[in-house]
Amino acid sequence: MQTSQMQTVLSDRFLVCGLGNLGQHCVAALANFGVRVRAIERTIPSGWDVPDLPTMLEQVIEGDFCRSSILQRAGIADCRAILLLAGDDRINLKAALAARLLNPAVRLVVRSNRPHLNDLLARQFGNFVAFEPSRLSAMAFALAALQDQTIGAFDINGVAYRVRQRSLEADDPWLGDIPANLNNRSRLILGHWSGPLPLPPDSLFYGSSIMEPLRFGDWVAYVEMRRGGRWHEWEATATLHPSRPMLTTAPRSTPRWQLLRSLQQAARSLLHRSRLLQIALIYAGAVLGLLLLGTVILRHYSPYRDWFDAFCNTALLLLGGYADLFGDSAQASGVPRWLRLFGFSLTVVGTGLVGVLYALLTERLLSLRLRFAPSRPRLPDKDHVLVVGMGQVGQQIARLLLQSGQSVAGLTRQGLDDNTLGDLPLMVGKLPDTLDRVELERAKSIVFATDDEIANLEMALMVRQASLSTGLVIRTFDRAFSDTLVGLLPDAQVLCAYALAAEAFAGAAFGENILSLYRWGCTTMLVAEYRIEPGDTLVDLLLAEFACGYGAVPLLHERVGRKALEDGELDFPRLDRHLRSGDRLVVLASIEGLRRIERGELAPRSWCVRLHSASPQADFEGANAIARITGCSLAQARSLFQRLPTLVEAGEPPTVCAMYEYQARSLVASLRQRLVDAEALCWATDLG
Given pLDDT bands bounded at 50, 70 and 90, which one contains residue 258? low
For residue 4, is pLDDT > 50?
Answer: no
Residue 261: what pLDDT? 59
Summarised one tens digit per residue, pLDDT across range 39-76 is: 999 998 888 888 889 999 999 999 999 999 999 999 99
Complete edge-to-edge strand list for the sheet that includes strand 471-476: 426-428, 408-412, 385-388, 445-448, 471-476, 493-496
Among the candidates 547, 574, 601, a domain finishes at 601
Residue 262: what pLDDT? 57
Q: Are residues 611 and 596 in the same domain?
A: no
Q: Are residues 319 and 344 in the same domain?
A: yes
Separation of alpha carbons 41 and 62, rounded Å: 5
Given pLDDT bands bounded at 50, 70 and 90, which one contains residue 660? very high
Residue 264: what pLDDT? 58
Summarised one tens digit per residue, pLDDT across range 389-443 is: 988 889 999 998 988 888 998 888 887 877 788 788 888 887 777 776 677 778 8
Query: Which residues are 385's β-sheet partners?
Result: 408, 445
In angstroms, the first-to-last Cα distance of the chain is: 39
Helix (H, G, I), strand (E, B) or coil at 314: helix
Residue 277: what pLDDT? 63
Stretch among 132-141, 168-177, 248-257 having the lowest mean pLDDT: 248-257
Stretch among 168-172, 190-194, 284-288 having the lowest mean pLDDT: 284-288
Separation of alpha carbons 586 and 644, rounded Å: 40
Residue 643: count of CB within 10 angstroms of its CB: 8
489 exposure class (CB count in 10 Å sphere: 0-12, 13-18, 19+)? middle
Percent of the chain's residues with pLDDT above 70: 84
∠ CA 308-313-314, nearest 5°, is 100
The pLDDT of 117-130, averaged and rounded, is: 87
Question: Going by DSSP bridges, is the β-strand pair 385-388/219-225 parallel, antiparallel, or unpaired?
Answer: unpaired
Residue 248: what pLDDT? 34
For residue 241, being part of any structural domain is answered with no
Closest CA to 508 of 50, 111, 205, 125: 111
Domain boundaries, position 620: 607-682
For residue 281, being part of any structural domain is answered with yes
Q: Are residues 305 and 392 in the same domain?
A: no
Residue 537: what pLDDT? 87
Q: Are residues 203 and 287 in the same domain?
A: no
Question: Going by DSSP bridges, is the β-strand pair 81-84/13-17 parallel, antiparallel, or unpaired?
Answer: parallel
For residue 188, is pLDDT > 50?
Answer: yes
For residue 501, being part of any structural domain is answered with no
Percent of the chain's residues with pLDDT above 90: 36
The pLDDT of 21-41, averaged and rounded, is: 91
Q: Are residues 611 and 597 in the same domain?
A: no
For residue 235, is pLDDT > 70?
Answer: no
81 exposure class (CB count in 10 Å sphere: 0-12, 13-18, 19+)? buried
Given pLDDT bands bounded at 50, 70 and 90, which one contains residue 84? very high
What CATH code is carried by the domain that includes residue 303?
1.10.287
What CATH code is carried by the domain that includes residue 434?
3.40.50.720
Structural domain tally of the chain?
5
Summarised one tens digit per residue, pLDDT across range 277-322 is: 666 677 677 778 877 877 777 777 655 567 777 777 777 777 777 6
**Which one is predicted more confidently, 515 or 6?**
515
Q: Are residues 633 and 558 in the same domain?
A: no
Helix (H, G, I), strand (E, B) or coil at 87: coil
For residue 568, is pLDDT > 50?
Answer: no
What CATH code is carried by the domain that includes residue 590?
3.30.70.1450
For residue 122, being part of any structural domain is answered with no
For residue 368, is pLDDT > 50?
Answer: yes
Given pLDDT bands bounded at 50, 70 and 90, which one contains residue 645? very high
For residue 56, being part of any structural domain is answered with no
Residue 124: what pLDDT? 85
